[in-house]
Amino acid sequence: MVDANESDLRLFTSMAEKASRDMVASGGQQLLEVRPLQKTTLGGRPALFFEAIHTTKEGRNMVVRQYLVPTDEQELRFTFHVAVDDQRSLLPLIERVESSVTIDR
């Protein structure tokens, strides 16, 4: 992942989109948008950042922000869900939580 190039990121995005589409469809929801994966860091470690928008059973649109952080022993996933309508007011809180993450190993 650390050495992923643009082609790799497109492939990873396609795989993440399929997995997300299948997951939300199994719950009677619909995937509306997937943004391309980006290389970033979280907790001082290399990570992939994924963001998508899907519906809920009640018809609300939700933003899902997910970080995939590989370690020597495992892959850590940090996932944040927020309603699109609440995103503007809650995004600063989510960003503070994201910036406070530390990963020791």
The owner of tokens 């290399």 is 46
Q: What is the pLDDT of residue 84?
A: 94
Q: What is the pLDDT of residue 105?
A: 63
User: What is the reported pTM?
Assistant: 0.83
Domain boundaries, the chain: 6-100
pLDDT (tens digit, 9 = 90+) per residue, 53-69?
999 988 899 999 999 99
Residues 45 and 37: beta-carbon distance below 8 Å: no
pLDDT (tens digit, 9 = 90+) per residue, 16-73?
899 999 989 998 899 999 999 999 999 999 999 999 999 998 889 999 999 999 888 8
